[in-house]
Amino acid sequence: MFAKQFAGFGLALMLCLVAPLPSPSWAACKVNSSSDGIQHGSVVVGSTVTICGSAQSVQPGRKSTVSKVQPKVQSKVTSPVVVKPAPRKANQYDKHRGWVTPPVKAKPKVVAKPKISIKKVVKKTTKITPPSSTSKSAEVSFNVQDLAVSVSPGLQVAAGQVLLFGTNASTHFGRGNILGKNAEVRFTLRQVGWQFGDDTESSVANPQKAFWSEGQFEVVANATYSVAYRLAGATSWNPSGAEITTSAKVIIEVGVDLETQTQETADRRVLLVGEQCRADLSVFGCG
């Protein structure tokens, strides 16, 4: 017994896991148009209309140059050059100076020293950033106004009494915000219909009706709206392609007017008289 119940529970659990989960409402939105970089659409479920939108922003790629300075040392070594004086002979006679004294030995002279030079090398590197894109999705929902029914003079009436029916149905609007844009929805009234519970109907907005039999009658009113929306800055409306019907009902209690019934009964009763009442009103039954 327990094994059968456990097996049934396991099968039900598996079916729940296999069954697809309901997708979010924005996934069912039909894209109607695109404006200001926003793709938008709508979907109607029951008495609710949902406006959805998605926007994608693209950041272009960028080029950036990076400079890097690296010191570079270049050294140049020059070997010292020794300058030696020209050799002169000792005790050389010169006709202008006479006898020349022995030459004095000169010290070697260093003409050049090792030379070191430092040069800065600038290395440039170009970095390219690829373009990137980000997307956002949002939705906003609006409900049609609740329908209310009015009955004059009231819900409890006598048979044959004329009643005036009415509703609060009218064209109305809803306003919200989606992706930073103001969204506006228009519910346009198309028709009001009535079902009076006695196999009679009416398509007049404010009908008059009388019930000729006693009892309770359920009166149902239906208001049908077409739906359209637009985003801020747009002049034309985008139809949702669906209609919304909302309903309301009241119970009418129809009874007998006791005062009228008493008067009718009194007018129709049979009287027994001894003589004609025209001759003498004091006769039995003529009073």
Domain ranges of the chain: 2-56+134-256, 65-127
- Distance CA(10)–CA(19), nearest Å, equals 14
pLDDT digits (tens, 9 = 90+) for 138-194: 899 999 999 999 999 999 999 999 999 999 999 999 999 988 889 999 999 999 999
User: Which is more confident, 270 or 282?
Assistant: 282
Question: Which of the four pLDDT bands, split at 50, 70 and 90, describes residue 222?
Answer: very high
Mean pLDDT of all residues in 275-287: 59
pLDDT by residue (tens digit) across 129-154? Answer: 776 666 788 899 999 999 999 999 99
Residue 143 identity (one-letter amino acid): N
Tell me the per-residue pLDDT of 207-220, one tens digit each, with 9 for 90 and over.
999 999 999 999 99
Reported as a single tens digit per residue, the pLDDT across 66-111 is 666 666 655 555 555 555 655 555 566 666 666 656 555 656 565 5
- Residue 265 pLDDT: 45
pLDDT of residue 191: 96
Least confident of 145-149, 248-252, 283-287: 283-287
User: In this structure, what token pair is assigned to residue 113?
Assistant: 């020293």
Output the average pLDDT for the chain. Answer: 75
Which pLDDT does position 219 carry in this prediction? 97
Confidence band of 124 (pLDDT split at 50, 70, 90): confident
**Residue 225: per-residue pLDDT:** 97
Note whether 249 and 221 are within 8 A (CB): yes
Lowest mean pLDDT among 57-71, 186-200, 247-261, 270-284: 270-284
Q: What is the pLDDT of residues 17-43, one digit of tens each?
A: 333 333 445 566 766 667 667 888 889
pLDDT at 95: 66
pLDDT recorded at residue 29: 77
> Could you give the CA distance from residue 117 to residue 134 in angstroms, rounded to a whole number?
53
Q: How far is C-alpha 280 from the chain's CA centre?
A: 92
Q: Which fold has domain 2-56+134-256?
A: Immunoglobulin-like (2.60.40)
**pTM given for the model:** 0.57
Within a 10 A sphere around the Cβ of 4, how many other Cβ atoms?
8
Query: Which residues make beta-bridge pairs with 42?
Result: 30, 51
